[in-house]
Amino acid sequence: MADLRHPSQENLAVIIEGIKSRLNMANTAVMRPEDFDLSHYDDLLYLYNMVQKKTSFSINEMTAIVEELGSMRKQS
């Protein structure tokens, strides 16, 4: 297991992939690690830890998580 306390592109990839895996996201191509900046690392780590602790998610929770992730994506 990676030490996720230290911001890096590799750890960011672990976090994003872990969130996608736990949420069973159908369209995972829309959420790629390279779409996120390390400036949001602490927020993404918090979200990752929260998602890992839950066993299931309501539709409202899923929507809120996806919206939060969307707000952290790099602007194109």
Find out whether 70 and 30 touch, Cβ atoms under 8 Å. Answer: no
Say what the pLDDT of residue 74 is. 87
Tokens of 51: 């998602």
| Single pTM value for the model | 0.87
What would the pLDDT profile of 18-68 be if each residue is shown by its tens digit? 998 888 876 666 788 999 999 999 999 999 999 999 999 999 998 899 899
Distance CA(72)–CA(46), nearest Å, equals 13
pLDDT band (50, 70, 90) for residue 76? low
Domain range list for the chain? 9-72
Neighbours of 16 (CB within 10 A): 21
Say what the pLDDT of residue 46 is. 96
CA angle 25, 27, 31 (to 5 degrees): 85
Q: Is residue 75 predicted with pLDDT exceeding 90?
A: no
Cα distances from 5 to residues 24, 28, 36, 37, in angstroms, run 24, 24, 17, 16
